[in-house]
Amino acid sequence: MPHAGLMDEKSLGPVTGPLQRARLHMRGGKRRLREGKIAAGVVTLYDALEAAMSAYAEGPKGRSHLVLREGERLDEEKMLYAVLVRSRVLDGTFDFEAFDRLLEAALDHELPGYDYRELLSGIEAIMVRLGVMPYDEASLPPEDPETY
């Protein structure tokens, strides 16, 4: 993954660690998409979204604004997305279920010809809403050109 060797997520803590991972994976996921590595890009963007939601939920805004029901676990990405929508942090226009199905397909095979532009636009909108974007590219460690 794009963050391998570039950060120690655990030492950064439960908010800063996933936030940094989300930023690194947004950068790496977009690069992979541009390079035609669509399946790898989709998987990387999924991880970026999961990290971004986790960082938000662990942060001060998440703890005070999330509307949780009994038994809901925030360590499960589908449930966390639903909680973020219910809590009006996200507007729900992004089809997370379709993204999850696309992830499953991407884990099994390459996705030649997949037009990722709408997906990327939706994810970027969520990243802005969760405070991951915009960010200063110079604040991130340089990419390792050896990373897939």
The model's pLDDT over 84-143, given as tens digits with 9 standing for 90+, comes to 999 999 999 999 999 999 999 999 999 988 999 999 999 999 999 999 988 777 777 677
**What number of other Cβ atoms are within 10 A of residue 84's Cβ?**
26
Q: Measured between alpha carbons, how far is 4 from 111 in angstroms, rounded to an integer? A: 24
Whether the predicted pLDDT of 6 surpasses 60? no
Q: Could you state, in order of their start, the residue ranges of all structural domains in the chain?
A: 11-139
pLDDT band at 145 (very low <50, low <70, confident <90, very high): low
pLDDT at residue number 27: 93
pLDDT mean over 10-32: 87
The answer to whether 47 touches 41, Cβ cutoff 8 Å, is no
Helix (H) or strand (E) holding 121: helix 117-129
pLDDT at residue number 3: 43
